[in-house]
Amino acid sequence: MTAPGDLLQALFQRLRSDATLSALLGGAGLLEQATDNAAFPHVTCGRTSAFDLDTGADNDADQLVTLHVWSKAHGDAETRVIMDSIKARLADAALAFGPHGQTRLSLEFAEARYDEDLAVHHGLLRFRAITQENA
C-alpha cells in the first residue's frame, strides 16, 4: 500500500520540478503546511484521506489529496493561473515511487473563491490517487 506521506512527497516533488509553477510561486511557495510568515502566493497541502468509498474502511490504495492555493493579488487571476498550472502537472499524471506500483492522479474537484475573513483568494484542488500494486 502507499502511505499518505509517500504520496505527498511524490506529489510535491513533481510540482517542484515544474519551472512554470515555481516561477508563479516565486520559487519557495510549495509548503506542506502554512507558516505565519509564508510569502504569497503559496500552495499548501490540506486534508488527505485514505478510504474505500464502497465500504468506508481505510484503504491506502484509494486516497484523496487536497491542495490549497493562497493569493493576495487583486482579483482571482493569479489563483486561477496557479491552479491551471497545478492541474496541467498533476491531472491524469502517473507517479511511480517505492516498491508498490504506480499511482494515477485524477482531478475530482476545483474551486476558486475569495475568503473575506482572511482577505485572500483561495483555490481548492482535490485529486483522487489510485494505486495499482505491482504483480
d(CA 2, CA 15): 19
All three cell numbers of 131, joined, read: 494505486
Name the domain count of the chain: 1
d(CA 31, CA 134): 31
Give the domain range for residue 110: 4-133
Distances (CA, A) of 44 to 1, 38, 67, 72, 73: 24, 10, 6, 15, 17
Structure confidence by residue, pLDDT tens digits, 100-125: 668 899 999 999 999 999 999 999 99
Structure confidence by residue, pLDDT tens digits, 51-72: 655 655 555 678 899 999 999 9
Return the HEC string of 38-61.
CCCCEEEEEEEEECCCCCCCCCCC
Task: CATH number of the domain at 68, please.
Answer: 3.30.2000.30
Cα dihedral across residues 57, 101, 2, 70: positive or negative: negative
Structure confidence by residue, pLDDT tens digits, 64-97: 999 999 999 999 999 999 999 999 999 889 888 7
